[in-house]
Amino acid sequence: MEPLFGVVLGLVLAVASPAQDSCTCATNKWAVCAQDGPGNCTCRLVGSDHPVDCSTLTSKCFLMKAEMIPLKEKRLWRPPHGLSDTDGIYNPDCEDSGVFKARQCNQSSTCWCVNTAGVRRTEKGDRSLSCSELVRTRWIYIELTHKRSSSAFDVPDVAKALTQLFESRYKLHPKYIAAIKYDPPLIQIRLDQNKKPRWDVDIADVAYYFEKDVNNDSIFHSNSKLTVSVNGDALAIEKLWIYYVDEKPPEFCMRQLAAGISAVVTVVVLTAGIGIAVLLILRWLHTRKYKKFESKEMREIKTPSLE
């Protein structure tokens, strides 16, 4: 009887172990998951304790908030590049839905307005700064270059490979991929999302996931390195640039622009003034030399010859 019991117990443990291991969030490595019932795995995000839907991408706002949590609170896990490069990273204020609040502030009471991608679109001010609305980022332009190979890829093959990547890895419907242009080694991608149904991922979240993948700091739980294949050949991405275009133009303060223009005008005027002064000095020196020569000739003419 005991051997039979041991076999049964071993089978139970073998079945239970994979179930326990499967309680992870495939689309978010920052999520902490727990088995709270048979076949029921609940995941919450570090830093905000919000429940995470692991069947889709997590909002960029929640992800940035999670990145600001000290590493010791992240289950002793340290990403390859961690927080050493914090350019553009801040601890954002998020709505319960995961979208950015229109006004963001830091600990020194400095505030600014952002778009739905969390990118600053106004000058910084104090806490009296008012942001009337969260302006939607409608277009995102992605430019990237790949390492040069012996021969360039075909344009349709590159477009097909990247479309499949965004659809399968980032859950982005192909209708939001407005264009993909390829001029070796430059690839340009335009994402266009004027209106977003609740069930579709946001292009700002897609761009953030993609940027992290390219920088070898994947947000996915597997933390696997991004690989893009074009007809069996690797498309090795080398450099990446992302540009955000909002429904409304940014509202940067005109006095900053005026100060910049004034500085440029000042430099131009000074340069022109120095140039004119140099020309006048050279002209004066040339005229003085000519008068000296003319005076010498006149003296020689007036002096009688001794012969």
Put simply, whether the predicted model's pTM sits higher than 0.75 gets the answer: no
Whether residue 206 is contained in a domain is answered as yes
pLDDT, position 170? 95
269 occurs within a structural domain:
no
How far apart CA 223 and CA 182 sit, in angstroms, is: 28
11 found inside a domain = no
Q: What is the pLDDT of residue 131?
A: 93
Tell whether 137 is covered by a domain: yes
Q: Helix, strand, or coil here: 235?
A: coil
- Say if 63 falls within a structural domain: yes
Task: Determine how many CB atoms are found less than 10 A away from the CB of residue 290.
Answer: 10
Structural domain boundaries enclosing 135? 31-75+88-253
In a domain, 297, yes or no: no
Tokens of 164: 């499949």
Determine the pLDDT at residue 82: 26
* Domain membership flag for residue 200: yes
Q: Would residue 8 count as lying in a domain?
A: no
User: Nearest-CA neighbor of 43 among 15, 17, 66?
Assistant: 66
Q: What's the total number of domains in the chain?
A: 1
Q: CB neighbours of 153 closer than 8 A, spacing ≥ 6?
A: 182, 184, 230, 231, 233, 235
Q: How many percent of the chain have pLDDT more than 70? A: 73
Beta strands in the chain (DSSP E): 31-37, 40-45, 103-105, 111-113, 137-146, 177-183, 186-192, 229-230, 233-234, 237-246
Residues of the chain with confidence (pLDDT) below 50:
1-20, 71-87, 254-259, 306-307
Q: Which whole-number Å values give the CA distances from 64 to 61, 99, 132, in the listed order?
A: 5, 11, 23
Whether the bond into 185 is cis, omega within 30 of 0: yes
